[in-house]
Amino acid sequence: MTSIVIPAHNEGRVIGRLLDELLADPHASGPDVVVVCNGCTDDTARVAAARGDRVRVVEIPVPSKHAALRAGDEHARGFPRLYVDADVVLGAADVRALTDELAGDPGLLAAAPGRLIPLAGAAWPVRAYYRVWQRLPAVREGLFGRGVIAVTEEGHERIAALPPLMADDLAASLAFGPGERRVVDSARVVVHPPRTWSDLVRRKVRAATSTAELESLQAAGQLKVPGDGRAQDAPSARTGGSDLRAMLRADPELLPAVAVFAVAALAARRRSRKAIREQDFSTWLRDESSRRG
């Protein structure tokens, strides 16, 4: 049986739309869905429980995604297992596409869906930023930034061994070699972007801080690296200038969007310095604009 674990911290406004899509499955049994409400002070648990007995709600007092994922593992019943963020939208057919892909290739340990980012209603700098971001090789090929990762039992063992990290989806993606992970384009997840520039920068600050945490653990040898395990060969999701230059050579009309992307990256890097210096890898800068409506 496929299990779906959904960590949710104060997601009462959006978790219903995800659950409705997941449960819109003509098969009577459907997946095993576990919602772990971690440190919630809103109605997340009530909204999830209202979907009936096909959803099991677990409540823990600590507002920790890592703790929620581990609690979800304790209650989940089977594999393949999907970890799904509460603020994305994934349908029952997309779940089947992911699990079928894993079942069809014994060497495949992890999979994620293609992403749809609805930018209508977002400020123009946000639209410009994502016009570049979605073209980056690491973003196209990695499993991170999708809010969904599906794993086999062997793949689960790999990510369960990861330490608590702010960049949990990035760490999970980098835990698998290119032949062990796959983006499944026949599956789609809707990832709602921030609508304002300030919320975009908040997301970027969080990304810069969490990437610094991950890289420090890689350098210290505290994260397993696929391949020969040498820290200096650890994969990274950082954007290099060469990526942006190659993009501009292919499409010079992207210059204004690349400039916006660079400004966002520089602003985030500057604002993240204090948190990195103080080793503050627990303050979660959440944007609320993506959760409106």
State the pairing for strand pair 181-190/89-90.
antiparallel
The predicted-structure confidence for 144-193, as pLDDT tens digits, reads as follows 999 999 999 999 999 998 888 877 888 898 899 999 999 999 999 999 99
pLDDT for residue 286: 72
171/86: higher pLDDT: 86
Among the listed ranges 25-34, 186-195, 223-232, which one has the minimum average pLDDT value? 223-232
The pLDDT of 261-287, averaged and rounded, is 82
Token representation of residue 52: 């009936």
**Separation of alpha carbons 125 and 257, rounded Å:** 8
pLDDT for residue 26: 59
**Separation of alpha carbons 162 and 74, rounded Å:** 16
pLDDT for residue 279: 78
pLDDT for residue 163: 82
pLDDT for residue 143: 95
Domains of the chain by range and CATH?
3-119+145-193 (3.90.550.10), 198-291 (no CATH)
Among the listed ranges 106-120, 156-170, 216-230, 249-263, which one has the minimum average pLDDT value? 216-230
The pTM of this model reads 0.90
pLDDT for residue 225: 56
Q: Evaluate if residue 23 carries a pLDDT over 80.
A: yes
